[in-house]
Amino acid sequence: MEISGLDTQITQKVEKWLNGNYDEATKAAIRQLIDDHNITELTDAFYKDLEFGTGGLRGIMGAGSNRVNKYTLGAATQGLSNYLIKQYPNQPISVVISYDSRNNSSKFANIVADVFSANGIQVYFFENLRPTPELSFAIRALKCQSGVMLTASHNPKEYNGYKAYGADGGQLVFPHDEAVMKEVARITSIDEIKFERVSDKVIPIGKEIDEQFIETIAKLSISRERIARQKDLKIVYSPLHGTGGQLVPPALARFGFENVITVDEQMVPDGNFPTVIYPNPEEKEAMSLAVRKATEVDADIVMATDPDADRVGLAIKGNQGDFVLLNGNQALCLLVDYVLSAYKNAGNLDGRQYVMKTIVTSYMIDKIAQSKGVECYNVLTGFKYIGEVMTQLEGKKTFLVGGEESYGYLVGDHARDKDAVVSCCMFAEMAAWYKDRGVSMYDALIGLYTQYGFYKESLISITKKGKSGADEIKAMMENYRNNTPATLGSSKVVMLKDYKTSISKDMITGAVEKIDLPSSNVLQFFTEDGSIISARPSGTEPKIKFYCSVNAPLLSKEAFEATEQQLTNKINAMLGDLGIV
């Protein structure tokens, strides 16, 4: 077969799919692309195989090796099955499967169950959609060796994905993720994938795990008396058409909150996400219906979770009565300060506790933790690295709270992934705690800035689609790596951290140190005035991301706006020096 304009290797992969034992609908979709001479789409669909990134397997649904479909998910599951059988020889193996509200998530979850069961693996299958953190919890509760969540988190509706978990309830990390991918790579034909379900190997689960999960997180409450006094705290909540509606309202009720107002238009699970452009609580637009409802009812706090309910967006009342959307860094700073303060006031900090965040998350958290005498660990971007350290320290130290700037937080060690269910409960508890003291959460945030310094963070994402986009992102990273800027925002660059080579270089003396973290394609530029810019290609989306962090003293609450503008100008200048804006 010859397809003009299509790379030879890609043409061979297309032929393999057309001539292989694939279903007719898949072949028809590929033929249509050929008939339409859609070289761009054919190239993107076949130029590579889907790979595990920081968030697992994720991509656009459709036909092709670089698409999410029955065969790519089947191959991933067959590879994971082969890995588990080798990892646990002559032992009974069990897994948990859950899925979110995305289009085809239920269908894909059943395909995954087919393959696991056909390989003799027992499957605990959630009878209906459930949040990602509940899957993480269930793996440990049921003493399983692995688990899979069918979700693409906050991506647009065209996407779906596959998160693979280990026995600790955390997403697979090195060397296990690479071992699974090697097993997948060994599958040279879809005929090697076992798709025939063994029904008695698939066991439905549901309400009993819900109860265990909610009861476990309810025990994490640290301000029960204040909640009792503020039980009428007016909370507006939306699941953005996702799984959060299953557990967040009952969890809030278990904490003692009696005035939870839901956004009815967004309570119905729907993979088309009809009321939002993107089901991403980071986006102002996605929070708009919830904020509108909160304004109508004069709520105290607004929360919205993404489709698989592992991330949560938060809005609080500003001093003018309007709602202010907090970014992930601000929300996490408030949460860490609240949890550590409550533990310290109760005399429950003895040096064994710790908090954790990612290297691109606000360094104000390090200062908050230090002031409370609590160690703060920094790990690579991706919550799986937080889960990995939690497992390593289990029984030695106690994890209290942690998270990442991308709206993912965890309180307690019941899960090894970010958990929007417990986060909603703890944010509501924090709001009750402050309200009971006559302090607004907004004033509390400003108070943190005056105490620790005004840390302002900004994220710039640049989308580069397809193979050409991937090549462009690679070139950008190599250029920054080989041509380190001398200054950023008029401040001298004094340190470069290259996590790909695991080297930290002092740009003044030339001295180098080893970075004690796994290799990752991330660059961090540190300037003389304490600013940081991190550059990182996304592991799950066709994007390169720039995380900016600047800070300055905040001398008074009245100086907030002027200081914020000063920091905004600094961020823009730094990005300009990198050629971004």
Of 91, 129, 133, residue with least CA distance to 109: 129
Q: Dmax over Cα atoms in the chain, in whole Å? A: 74
| Domain end position, chosen among 157, 176, 205 | 205
The verdict on 247 and 182 lying in the same domain is no
Distances (CA, A) of 539 to 59, 171, 384: 11, 14, 12
Residue 53 phi/psi, 5-degree rounding, is -110, -155
So which residues are the catalytic ones?
153
DSSP state, residue 143: T
Q: Which residues contact 14 (CB under 8 A, 6 or more apart)?
A: 1, 3, 6, 30, 34, 42, 46
| Three-state SS letters, 437-476 | CCCCHHHHHHHHHHHHCEEEEEEEEEECCHHHHHHHHHHH
Residue 472: which domain range? 454-577
The verdict on 255 and 188 lying in the same domain is no
| Domain end position, chosen among 421, 452, 483 | 452
The verdict on 218 and 342 lying in the same domain is yes
Of 253, 258, 239, 243, residue with least CA distance to 302: 239
Cα dihedral: 262, 264, 269, 272 (round 10): -120
Give the pLDDT of residue 55.
Answer: 58
Confidence (pTM): 0.94
The verdict on 547 and 573 lying in the same domain is yes
CATH number at residue 472: 3.30.310
Give the pLDDT of residue 8.
Answer: 87
Secondary structure class of 47 (helix, strand, coil)? coil
The verdict on 399 and 312 lying in the same domain is yes
Q: What is the pLDDT along the chain (581 residues), one digit of tens a residue?
A: 678 778 888 999 999 999 999 999 999 999 999 999 999 999 999 998 887 655 568 999 999 999 999 999 999 999 999 999 999 999 999 999 999 999 999 999 999 999 999 999 999 999 999 999 999 999 999 999 999 999 998 889 999 999 999 999 999 998 898 888 889 889 989 999 999 999 999 999 999 999 999 999 999 999 999 999 999 999 999 999 999 999 999 999 999 999 999 999 999 999 999 999 999 999 999 999 999 999 999 999 999 999 999 999 999 999 888 999 999 999 999 999 999 999 999 899 999 999 999 999 999 999 999 999 999 999 999 899 999 999 999 999 999 999 999 999 999 999 999 999 999 999 999 999 999 999 999 999 999 999 999 999 999 999 888 778 888 899 999 999 999 999 999 999 999 999 999 999 999 999 999 999 999 999 999 999 999 999 999 866 678 999 999 999 999 999 999 999 999 999 999 999 998 86
DSSP state, residue 558: G
Secondary structure class of 279 (helix, strand, coil)? coil
The verdict on 243 and 297 lying in the same domain is yes
The verdict on 61 and 37 lying in the same domain is no
CATH number at residue 380: 3.40.120.10
Q: Is-contact 577 479, C-beta < 8 A?
A: no
Helix axes 24-35, 39-46, angle to 10 degrees: 140
- Strand 398-404 relative to strand 353-358, pairing: parallel
Helix axes 132-141, 420-436, angle to 10 degrees: 110
Do you find a cis peptide bond into 175, omega within 30 degrees of 0?
Answer: yes
Secondary structure class of 117 (helix, strand, coil)? helix
The verdict on 539 and 459 lying in the same domain is yes
Of 358, 378, 359, 376, residue with least CA distance to 367: 376
- Which two three-digit tokens encode residue 427? 């944010």
Of 5, 87, 70, residue with least CA distance to 42: 5
Which amino acid, 569? N
Q: Output the CA torsion sign for 398, 404, 405, 409.
A: negative
Distances (CA, A) of 532 to 377, 450, 459, 487: 18, 20, 12, 12
The verdict on 266 and 392 lying in the same domain is yes
| Domain end position, chosen among 176, 205, 234 | 205
The verdict on 283 and 335 lying in the same domain is yes
Query: Based on the structure, what is the number of domains in the chain?
Result: 4
Which amino acid, 433? W
Give the pLDDT of residue 469.
Answer: 85
- Which two three-digit tokens encode residue 190? 């879809």
Residue found under tokens 């001298």? 492
The verdict on 194 and 248 lying in the same domain is no
Q: Is-contact 195 111, C-beta < 8 A?
A: yes
Neighbours of 300 (CB within 10 A): 22
The verdict on 358 and 440 lying in the same domain is yes
